[in-house]
Amino acid sequence: MSKVERFEDLKVWQKGLSLAIDTYKILADCRDFALKDQMCRASVSVPSNIAEGFERHSNKDFIRFLRIAKGSSAELRTQIHIAIGIKLIDDEQGKELITNSRIISAMLQNLIKTRETKF
């Protein structure tokens, strides 16, 4: 395993960035501006909080921001369920977003656990 020197090196940040981009692409033509805005904000919050916490150079702050990112991932997942339920996005796209969000949440939880025990 190579040393992480930048937040861009973190796999969880990379996956979070991809999730945000995918969310924007899927919602590009969405006319429900309120839900679209909420979903885009939540998706952007995931990699943004990972990056912000990393750049604080404090383990305590990093863990706090990882938890915020994890919460944003759950918020996005809830909004995806709503979007599927009201047929704003199709089931297949929604399930893929949900799966990716769950993977990110698990990765965040593992990173939090690692940071809490190692540092």
Question: Following DSSP, what letter does each residue of 44-110 receive, concatenated?
Answer: HHHHHHHHHHHHTT-HHHHHHHHHHHHHHHHHHHHHHHHHHHTTSS-HHHHHHHHHHHHHHHHHHHH
Over residues 37-78, the pLDDT tens digits come to: 999 999 999 999 999 999 999 999 999 999 999 999 999 999
Q: How many domains does the chain have?
A: 1
Q: Residue 1: inside a domain, yes or no?
A: no
Contacts with 29 (C-beta within 8 Å, 6 or more apart), sequence order: none
Question: What predicted TM-score, i.e. pTM, was given to this entire model?
Answer: 0.95
Q: Residue 50: inside a domain, yes or no?
A: yes
Q: Residue 71: inside a domain, yes or no?
A: yes
The whole-number pLDDT of residue 1 equals 54
Q: Residue 30: inside a domain, yes or no?
A: yes
Residue 27 domain boundaries: 7-118
- Indicate the pLDDT class of residue 30, thresholds 50, 70 and 90: very high
Q: Residue 2: inside a domain, yes or no?
A: no
Over residues 78-97, the pLDDT tens digits come to: 999 999 999 999 999 999 99
Number of Cβ within a 10 Å radius of residue 7:
17
Average pLDDT estimate for 23-39:
97
Q: Is the pLDDT of residue 33 over 60?
A: yes
What CATH number is given to the structural domain containing 98? 1.20.1440.60
